Copies of this chain bind each other. A is one copy, B any other.
Amino acid sequence: MEVTKRPGGRSARVRDAVRKATLAELAEHGFRGLTVENVAERSGVHKTTVYRRWGNVEGLIADALELAAGEPWPIPDTGTVEGDLRGVVELVRSGFEDPELGPVSSAFVAAAMQSPEAARALHAFFEARHDQSAQVVRRGVERGELPVTVDAREVIRVAVAPVYYRLFVAHESVSRRDADRAADAALAAARAGVL
């Protein structure tokens, strides 16, 4: 992020207002319906100001994304790798199903597909998420449930990938059972020493 030369006062207020408005607009109208003008009006900040500081719609999203990347999320701890991994995947699935979070998250993915800036932000976001989630795999290794050679982050990737694939590429629905199955498949591969 750029260095804010005047972090206190109006600049900060403007920034917060715009961020909030971006998330609200995203939740209401999705990525397609997100325009700089609407965000400006909703936030009470002048259009020109938003253009100057954020550049365009993708800039708004990239900024909101960095905000979201900072927030931690609840890593499950059920006592077994199987339960934990299922929990992680289910968390992803249900997140996109949530009527409030879903559209926002989807918008992030859509935006990253068109804007290098948003893509970089999303990449960093998943980097962080993978690191956090990999913890459930590492715990499994410590318990002796998985071979020590396992690539923890890769297990997470393989586990969640089918959910994203169904949602954003093949455009199929994703049931809880589908999510469980994806987690189980990653686990089976890990146990077999493939990952």
Contacts and interface: CB of A to CB of B under 8 A. Distances in A.
Interface string A23-67: 000000001100000000000000000000000000000000000
B169 A181 contact: no
Interface string A175-195: 000000110111111011011
Given A114-B31, A114-B110, A185 B189 contact: yes
B154 A181 contact: yes
Nearest to A32: B114
Contacts of A187: 194
Interface of A: 31-32, 106, 109-110, 112-114, 119-120, 122-123, 126, 130, 154, 157-158, 160-162, 164-166, 168-172, 181-182, 184-189, 191-192, 194-195
Contact of A185 (B112, B168, B186): B186
Given A113-B110, A185-B185, A123 B171 contact: yes
A166 B172 contact: no
B170 A165 contact: no
Contacts of A113: 31, 106, 109-110, 113, 168
Contact of A162 (B126, B157, B166, B171): B157
Given A109-B113, A114-B110, A161-B161, A195 B181 contact: yes
Contacts of A181: 154, 194-195
Contacts of A32: 114
